[in-house]
Amino acid sequence: MVVLIDTNIILDHLIPRMPYGDIASTVFQYCFQRKCDGYVASHSITNIFYILRKQFSSDERKRMLLGLCDFIEIAGVQKRHLVEALKNENFDDLEDCLQTECAKAVSADYIITRNIDDFTGSSIPAILPEDFLKKMEEDDT
């Protein structure tokens, strides 16, 4: 299974934000164990670096994100993805649409997010992290 992990799930894991941190960490554990192929959109990395600036030093943020890159692949935003996102009338939020474009580029089965309503216009289904974990547990049996 191939998944693109939305920014909110990454933040839940890195900070960790409760009550979501444990579930997010389990999502990443599946990626770390190579039970699924996990991707993060490249723009999520820069957004997270910025969001965490008040809580962590630059060196701490770099270490956190480098650690993430050890077992997560990065889905890049190319000009064609940006143009498609700007043309896409199914989204009001450009960042969510870019997540979808990155998910399409890596042939993701799902976008894992806590904000599934933001992805109603997505051609890639959005799934809550707890629903993803249920699917993975079903596959394990």
The predicted-structure confidence for 2-55, as pLDDT tens digits, reads as follows 999 999 999 999 998 889 999 999 999 999 999 999 999 999 999 999 999 999
Residue with tokens 């991707």: 39
pTM to 2 decimal places: 0.93
Concatenated DSSP letters of 35-74: SSEEEEEHHHHHHHHHHGGGTS-HHHHHHHHHHHHTT-EE
Q: For the chain, what percent of residues have pLDDT higher than 90?
A: 79
Q: Spell out the residues 6+ positions from residue 72 whose beta carbon is closer than 8 angstroms to its own.
A: 5, 28, 31, 38, 39, 40
Asked whether 100 and 111 are in contact (CB, 8 A), the reply is: yes
- CATH 3.40.50.1010 assigned to domain 2-140? The reply is yes
The domain locations on the chain are 2-140
Report d(CA 123, CA 34) in Å as an integer: 25
